[in-house]
Structure 1
Amino acid sequence: MSSRPRRTQAERRTATRGRILDCTADCLLERGYTATTVSEVQQRSGLARGTIQHHFPTRAQLIVGAMSHLVDTRISRFREEAALIAPGPGRMQAVVDLAWRDLSSPIFFAALELWVAARTDAELRATLVPEQDRLFAAMRELYAETLGEPYTSDPRVETLVEFTVDLLTGLSLATMLSSSAGSREAVLRRWKRALAVLAGVLPADELLGGRSLSELLPPGGTMTP
């Protein structure tokens, strides 16, 4: 019976680094930024502190390494779910739902903790910004790729994607302190309709719930402030 081949030094290094990042990511998701310390990661991983610091000399590098690991997971998950969206007229609305799942996921809230901490931590901010830029660039490409034609070549879509991300990010922040699922679903429905109007799929009256603007105006035909 042949023995299992011994791992190379590079393979052992990769496995150790992966173990550190997995434990750091788990801690960040479960306990938040403040509680994610080298000591906590050491306890979770069972590795020596020196081993952890050999791979990540500072706590900021450890945190951002874990964030990079989570970013890769987030991109991969988005791509896998996007591949399941069927072609057709409802594709744009399905992309909004996918974006919402992404922007209200535990990984998003882990990133949010880092954003808040980076506001007053120059070292963390310097290492976090490039990683966030990588994420944003990848997600923009994924949104365009998932929407497909005729949206991909439509010059309006880049702006609509930005608006969608900003709106859903704000909605996700609002839900941190609110459990009103009905209100959240209403916002999503209205934004899907607005996107369809802005993209020219639906007539402008649909933005008003199917009623014409003249029906909503008071006598005299002008809106009052």
Structure 2
Amino acid sequence: MTVPPGTAGAENPERPRRAQQERSRLAQQKILDAAVRVLDKHGYAKTSTLRIQKEAGVSRGGLLNHFPSRDKLLVAAVHHLALEWVTNLGTRAQWAADPVERIAEAIDTMWATYSQPYFWASVELWVAARSHEDLRLALLPKEYLMGSVIRASADALFGPALSSHPSYPVVRDLVITSMRGVALTYALDNRDPTKDPHLKHWNTVATTMLLEAEQNGSLP
């Protein structure tokens, strides 16, 4: 077989392109992660593209190439990390067979998400959006998506048996909104979240509505 001149050992033309795409993906990931860290540490007002650039260890042009707008970068960063974290919550392989223990595990896992950096970064954006209309409009569709992902993740944590209970949607939404409110108090009082007194209350409400009420015949 005769090899055409100049083609012997020629590199696959797709390889450089794939390598460039991977470098671009990794650079973008570094920027997104850095943006969340800076926003969590310094707050919205003091989070600049320069600070994010230094934190990420990328060039000015590299950052602007991926994210020309600071607010779009912040929105993308927070929701990228939140989606990644929340989506992975339901992938746990082993869960307690006992429904009471399953509820406790689900509650503990849900509560742990409210001490993550992306939660506090989200809070910074929510507060800033009150007086920044462009930021509010950029946040809304992302928050609607996050809401559906959080609910789906909670369903996976509680499992099909508990999440099919008629009272489950009320329990789920009550726990989510209550956890969000309690978590905000940690902005002022730096306590150990694993010992929060509300944990037992959330467990009691969920157990009563999903198990005890049904067993006592008090549900319609």
- TM-score bin, normalised by smaller chain: 0.7 to 0.9
Aligned to 2:38: 27
Q: Out of 185, 189, 195, which is 1:178 matched to?
A: 189
Aligned pairs for 1:88-167 (under 5 A) are: 88-89=98-99, 90-167=101-178
**Secondary structure in 2 aligned to 1:151?**
helix
The amino acid that maps onto 1:147 is F
Q: Which runs of 5+ in 1 are unaligned?
A: 206-225
Match of 1:69 among 80, 92, 97: 80
Q: Distance in 1 between matches of 2:138 and 2:183?
A: 25
Return the structure number with greater helix share.
Answer: 2
Contact 2:107-2:203 within 8 A present in 1 as well: yes
| Counterpart Cα distance in 1 of 2:69 and 2:161 | 47
Counterpart for residue 96 of structure 2: 86
Structure with greater contact order relative to length (CA < 8 Å, sep ≥ 6)? 2
Mapping for residues 22-61 of structure 1, pairs under 5 Å: 22-61=33-72
| 1:206-217 paired onto structure 2 within 5 Å | none
**Aligned to 2:163, what secondary structure does the other structure show?**
coil
Given residue 188 of structure 1, which amino acid in structure 2 is its aligned partner? L
Which TM-score applies when normalising by structure 2?
A: 0.79
User: Do the aligned residues in 2 keep the contact of 1:28 with 1:36 (CA within 8 Å)?
Assistant: yes
3-state SS of the aligned residue for 2:162?
coil
Give 2:176's aligned amino acid.
Answer: V
**Count of residues in Structure 1 that have an aligned counterpart in Structure 2:** 201
- 1:201 and 2:212 aligned: yes
1:72, CA displacement in angstroms? 2.7
Mapped to 2, the partners of 1:35 and 1:140 lie a distance apart of 32
Secondary structure, in 3 states, of the residue corresponding to 1:36?
coil
* Deviation for aligned residue 1:175: 3.0
C-alpha separation in 1, matches of 2:40 and 2:208? 38
Provide the residue aligned with 1:187 in structure 2. 198
On the 8 A contact 2:90/2:156 being kept in 1, the answer is no
From the superposition, tell whether residues 18 and 201 of structure 1 become closer, same or farther in structure 2 (CA, over 3 Å): same
The letter for the 2-side match of 1:79 is G
Counterpart Cα distance in 2 of 1:141 and 1:76: 9
Preserved CA contact (<8 Å) 1:20 1:52: yes
Find out whether 1:18 has 2:42 as its counterpart: no
Distance in 2 of aligned mates of 1:64 and 1:143 = 23
Provide the aligned C-alpha RMSD in A. 2.8
TM-score by length of 1: 0.77
Instruction: Work out whether residues 143 and 161 of structure 1, in 8 Å CA contact, stay in contact via their aligned partners in 2.
Output: yes
SS in 1 for 2:212: coil
Percent identity over the alignment is: 27
